[in-house]
Amino acid sequence: MGSNAINIIALRNEMLNFSRKTDAKLELLREVVQRVKNGEDVDVKRLLGTGDEVAEKEWEEVMREVESTDMLWEGKKKREAKQAAKAEERRRREERAAAKEAEGSLGATQTVNERRPKFLM
């Protein structure tokens, strides 16, 4: 049991470190893009590490992380939309059932004479 806890903590720390690296890379990319938009003379290749095998590998990992996070986010949005649609359909069914029940109770409140055919009165 203790080794499982240690493994979970190690995995969590590894994910935190990876997330920090990813966030730092994305922030660097935002800064470079903003500088280019501002018309500054920027050596994009140098800043982003083009040609540096280690830096390029890090960028690959960051892009994979962004893609997988995006897919997870899209899946979550789809699940939430389905749940919302089901909840709306349930609400509509309940409203229809309540309306039918209300119609039925109106008929029950009529007096016996009102419901009897006129020729029997």
Residues in contact with 49: Cβ distance below 8 Å, sequence separation at least 6, in sequence order:
55, 56, 58, 59
Per-residue pLDDT reduced to its tens digit, 110-119: 555 566 666 6
Q: 3-state DSSP call for residue 104? A: helix
CA-to-CA separations, 49 to 60, 96, 112, in angstroms, rounded: 12, 63, 90
pTM of the model: 0.50
pLDDT of residue 115: 61
Question: Amino acid identity of 20?
Answer: R
Mean pLDDT of 30-46: 91
If pLDDT is split at 50, 70 and 90, which confidence band does 84 have? very high
Which band of pLDDT confidence, cut at 50, 70 and 90, is reported for residue 37? very high
